[in-house]
Homo-oligomer: A and B are copies of this chain.
Amino acid sequence: MFANTPEPPYFAVIFTSRQTADIDSRKYAAVAQHMLELAQQQPGFLGVESAREDVGITVSYWSSREAIRAWGQQAEHLVAQKLGREKFYEHFILRIAEVQEARFFE
C-alpha cells in the first residue's frame, strides 16, 4: 500500500489519468496487474502507490532516471502503453520527478 522507499534521492513517476467512459475494466485490471508484476522485476524499481477516484494517481519509485527510461522501453510495457493511449485513457499526465526529501509518520 505504501512504497518502502530508501533515503532520498531517488526518482518518482507520477502518472495521473482519467479512464475512457467505455473502458473494458476487466481487461484494464489484467493489464495493470501484469504491468505491476513486470515493473517489480525491473532493475531499479523501488515501489508503487496507487489510488483511483475521478482520476487515478499511480506513483512508482525508481533508483534512477535510467531505470525509468529502461522500463519505458520494455517490450510488453510498450504494448500496454499503446493500449493505454488507444483504449484505456481519455487523458493522462506523466511527470518524472526527483524525490529530494521524505518524512514518515506512523
Contact = CB atoms under 8 A, between A and B. Distances in A.
Interface of A: 1-3, 5, 8, 12, 14, 16, 18, 49-57, 59, 65, 85, 89-106
A18 B3 CA distance: 13
B94 A1 contact: no
6 contacts: A3-B16, A51-B53, A92-B105, A94-B103, A96-B102, A97-B97
A14 B92 contact: no
A66 to B, nearest CB: 13
A16 B59 contact: yes
Contacts of A54: 1, 51
A106 B100 CA distance: 30
A101 B96 contact: yes
